[in-house]
């Protein structure tokens, strides 16, 4: 029976994966609604002839027992033999797990993609692991009640910062375009390597008077890295102490995120563009809970091998190939672009760059400047398109670095390039390098410039919502508006360290920000101040963890907010859905396509990407796009039924 059940588990996962590009979790297996959705009778049409391989052995075993070709042996297995077999099996499991950890560090703790867990550990190990994790989560949630929310509400309401009247609503009604700069650190801005600017376009944007650029903005991610950054950006709630919130809890948690808030208050449509698999970081589930209407993952792009980096579509191709979808979105829209080319181990083929690498002896540090330069070029091309197409003047464009690119273990190699000595490098220096860019570019504004206030990713959502003219006082948010006079400048890190405009605290050690020198004998006043701020940081992180782990937002609905129903979204036919909506709206459609006389703006996009500038590549891209459009359009009826 165990053997038959195991084969059934494998078969059902094959069917489920073909339908949803994901593996069945314990909640899907035992949840009636999920099973009926994931394994409906129509899904069995996805079976293929080769799937019989998974059933032939079962049929053979049944026939063999029925004909007594194989007989049950009622004698117990000798104890020594049983112990030997079990020990050998455990050794193989441990060996396999070790290989997986070597290839993908923190495979179990971060769980950034169920595909990787199954790849390295197998479907059985994944199901067992997911079962343990689910049981733990369910126990915590079953014991939670609405009263657990009181401490969270008290904290966030007292912590709330009123908007700056001069900034409130200055971007109301504008499209909001978020550009996620993968692994991009602040020190790259205005940096020259061998006399050449690494990021000339981003430098010009950073120093533009139409840009509010933050010089002291820090990443606050934990093990969830990119997914933590996205979570804070969208919800103003911290990631988990261990692992990724998106992966561990994102499928079932309740969110009150930017896409839903913008849609319900001001009618924004929303979309994400990402040239990787939708299952990575569990995005294809989490985005639905956040209220994203459309998610254009790798299945919507030409993913020939020469178009890819290790983590997805090259940035120039992502921006270029997203235009045919972006131009169809109803305005105002909230659109996020997740770049991947500037990702460890920082490799890009020679035909895409002529920028000379550094020479520190560490290839990841040396090539970091090369891929950052490529990212800079990609963003410039996209900005040029926005200006030519007419989207630019009616948009607020937000750029942010999600987390560090060079890890602490490699900072000693980086030190000399920053004019520092590796022999005097300290934890203070590591902490200062957690700065990442945060820029809010609003065309037409002349009062921008470099902002000195301290802040972090947790502060992005209330800041953007206030700029869009949306009151955030009724929402549960741990960040505060960066422009508010009441903005909290204590920046908490996930490991409970923190930084303020004057001091940096790492593992209880206090450093003076001006000198970088450790204060070994702080005054009583300073010691009390640091203790108070440390308690506040610990409380804030603890309350955020309670909110996430107990899924407390299910007990709280802000005024005027309708909880998101993820069943309203199906990302398999997004192009068909937006074109169908556009046709239904007719002359009232606000999409760029409609306002351009039902003509595409793809020709407004100029790129020097070699993959786009050869006859073969163009023909291949056009073929791929046509195929994608045709496939999506033809499948619209089945999507509507679901």
Which residues are known binding-site members for substrate? 343
**Positions at the binding site for Mn(2+):** 182, 226, 402-403
Which position among 156, 226, 235, 480 bears the catalytic label?
226
Are residues 436 and 185 in contact, defined by beta-carbon separation less than 8 angstroms? yes
The whole-angstrom separation of Cα 205 and Cα 439 is: 8
Tokens of 43: 């899904």
3-state secondary structure 51-99: HHHHHHHHHHHHHHHHCCCCCCCCCCCCHHHHHHHHHHHHHHHHHHHHH
**Of 450, 363, 441, 456, which Cα lies nearest the Cα of 401?**
456
SS3 176: strand
- The string of DSSP letters for 586-623 reads GGG--SHHHHTTS---GGG-----TTTSSHHHHHHHHH
**Positions at the binding site:** 182, 226, 343, 402-403
**Of 443, 376, 459, 201, which Cα lies nearest the Cα of 451?**
459
Tokens of 97: 């797990």
226 in catalytic set: yes
Are residues 167 and 442 in contact, defined by beta-carbon separation less than 8 angstroms? no
- The string of DSSP letters for 332-356 reads SEEEEEE--SS-TT----GGG--PP
Distance, C-alpha 186 to centroid of its chain: 19
Edge-to-edge order in the sheet of strand 509-512: 491-492, 498-499, 503-506, 509-512
Query: Where does residue 546 rank: exposed (0-12), middle (13-18), buried (19+ CB within 10 A)?
Result: middle
Planar angle of CA 559, 561, 566, nearest 5 degrees: 155
**Of 382, 374, 378, 338, which Cα lies nearest the Cα of 356?**
374
Instruction: Specify the residue for token string 């910062």.
Output: 161
Beta strands, E only, 491-588? 491-492, 498-499, 503-506, 509-512
| Cβ count near 574 (within 10 Å) | 24
Distance, C-alpha 113 to centroid of its chain: 12
Are residues 427 and 155 in contact, defined by beta-carbon separation less than 8 angstroms? no
The whole-angstrom separation of Cα 132 and Cα 139 is: 11
Tokens of 78: 């000798």
Torsions phi, psi for 330 (to 5 deg): -70, 135
- The string of DSSP letters for 352-419 reads G--PPP--SS-HHHHHHHHHHHHHHHHHHHHHHHHHHHT-GGGEEEEEEE-S-SS-GGGHHHHHGGGT
Q: How far is CA 575 from CA 276, 292, 333, 441, in A?
A: 17, 14, 15, 28
The whole-angstrom separation of Cα 384 and Cα 390 is: 10
The whole-angstrom separation of Cα 507 and Cα 575 is: 49
The whole-angstrom separation of Cα 447 and Cα 142 is: 51
- Catalytic machinery residues: 226
């Amino acid at each position: 029976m165990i053997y038959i059940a195991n084969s059934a588990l494998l078969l059902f996962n094959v069917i489920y994966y073909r339908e949803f590009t994901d593996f069945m979790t314990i909640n899907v297996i035992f949840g009636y609604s999920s099973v009926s959705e994931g394994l409906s009778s129509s899904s069995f049409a996805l079976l293929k002839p080769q799937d019989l391989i998974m059933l032939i052995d079962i049929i053979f075993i049944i026939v063999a027992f029925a004909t007594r070709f194989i007989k049950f042996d009622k004698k117990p297995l000798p104890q020594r033999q049983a112990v030997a077999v079990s020990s050998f099996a455990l050794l193989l499991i441990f060996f396999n797990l070790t290989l997986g950890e070597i290839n993908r560090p923190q495979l179990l703790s971060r769980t950034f993609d169920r595909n990787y867990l199954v790849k390295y550990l197998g479907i059985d190990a994944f199901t067992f692991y997911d079962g343990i994790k689910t049981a733990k989560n369910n126990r915590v949630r079953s014991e939670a009640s609405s009263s657990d929310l009181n401490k969270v509400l008290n904290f966030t309401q007292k912590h709330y910062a009123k908007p700056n009247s001069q900034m409130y609503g200055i971007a109301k009604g504008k499209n909001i375009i978020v550009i996620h700069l993968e692994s991009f650190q602040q020190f790259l801005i205005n940096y020259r390597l061998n006399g050449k600017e690494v990021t000339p376009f981003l430098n010009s944007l950073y120093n533009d008077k139409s840009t509010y650029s933050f010089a002291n903005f820090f990443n606050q991610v934990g093990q969830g890295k990119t997914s933590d950054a996205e979570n804070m950006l969208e919800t103003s709630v911290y990631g988990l102490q261990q692992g990724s919130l998106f992966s561990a809890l994102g499928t079932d948690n309740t969110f009150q995120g930017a896409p839903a808030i913008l849609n319900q208050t001001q009618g924004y449509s929303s979309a994400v563009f990402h040239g990787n698999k939708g299952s990575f970081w569990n995005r294809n589930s989490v985005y639905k809970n956040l209220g994203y209407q459309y998610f254009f993952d790798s299945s919507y792009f030409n993913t020939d091998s020469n178009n890819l980096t290790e983590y997805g579509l090259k940035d120039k191709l992502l921006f270029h190939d997203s235009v045919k979808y972006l131009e169809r979105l109803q305005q105002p829209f909230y659109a996020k672009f997740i770049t991947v080319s500037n990702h460890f181990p920082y490799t890009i083929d020679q035909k895409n760059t002529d920028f000379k690498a550094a020479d520190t002896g560490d290839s990841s540090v040396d090539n970091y400047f090369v891929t950052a330069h490529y990212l800079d070029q990609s963003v410039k091309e996209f900005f040029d398109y926005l200006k030519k197409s007419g989207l630019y003047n009616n948009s607020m464009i937000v750029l942010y670095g999600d987390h560090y690119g060079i890890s602490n273990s490699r900072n000693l190699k980086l030190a000399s390039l920053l004019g520092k000595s590796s022999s005097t490098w300290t934890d203070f220096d590591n902490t200062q390098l957690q700065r990442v860019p945060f820029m809010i570019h609003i065309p037409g504004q002349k009062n921008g410039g470099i902002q000195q206030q301290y802040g972090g990713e947790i502060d992005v959502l209330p800041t953007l919502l206030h700029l869009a003219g949306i009151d955030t006082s009724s929402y549960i948010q741990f960040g505060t508006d960066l422009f508010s006079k009441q903005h909290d400048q204590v920046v908490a890190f996930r490991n409970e360290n923190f930084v303020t405009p004057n001091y940096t605290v790492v593992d209880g050690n206090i450093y003076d920000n001006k000198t970088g020198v450790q204060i070994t004998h702080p005054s009583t006043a300073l010691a009390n101040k640091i203790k108070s701020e440390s308690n506040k940081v610990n409380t804030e992180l603890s309350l955020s963890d309670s909110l996430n782990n107990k899924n407390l937002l299910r007990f709280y609905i802000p005024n005027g907010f309708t909880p998101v129903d993820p069943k309203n979204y199906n990302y398999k036919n997004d192009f068909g859905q937006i074109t169908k909506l556009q046709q239904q709206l007719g002359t009232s459609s606000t999409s760029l396509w409609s306002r351009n006389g039902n003509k595409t703006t793809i020709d407004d996009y100029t790129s020097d990407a070699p993959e786009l500038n050869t006859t073969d590549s163009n023909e291949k891209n056009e073929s791929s796009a046509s195929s994608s459009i045709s496939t999506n359009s033809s499948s619209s009826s089945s999507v509507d039924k679901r």
